Amino acid sequence: MCLSIPSKVVELKEDNTAVVETFGARRVVSLDLLQEGVSVGDWVLVHVGFAIQKLDEEYALESLKLFEQLLEEEDEALGELQGS
């Protein structure tokens, strides 16, 4: 299964890359696949090091909330398995 993660643009670089932040972690991603420009503060969907789509903030935040819920449920399930 492939996942793409909503990330906030925190810095633009000269080589058509950007620093994005997701869950407090920062990384550099390529903007080469985007057809529209982005600015600091914009949200993008990131997959394997590439920003693949610009997102509106409401959608990005809702998606991140769902990811957090999935991670919490996974932690609970792992805890139950380890306790068995």
Cα-flanking dihedrals φ and ψ of residue 67, to 5°? -60, -45
Q: How confident is the model at residue 81 (pLDDT cuts 50, 70, 90)?
A: confident
What are the structural domains of the chain?
A: 5-83 (2.30.30.140)
pLDDT tens across 16-57, in order? 999 999 999 999 999 999 999 999 999 999 999 999 999 999
In this structure, the number of other CB atoms found within 10 A of the CB of residue 5 comes to 16
- The two tokens of residue 53 are 């789509």
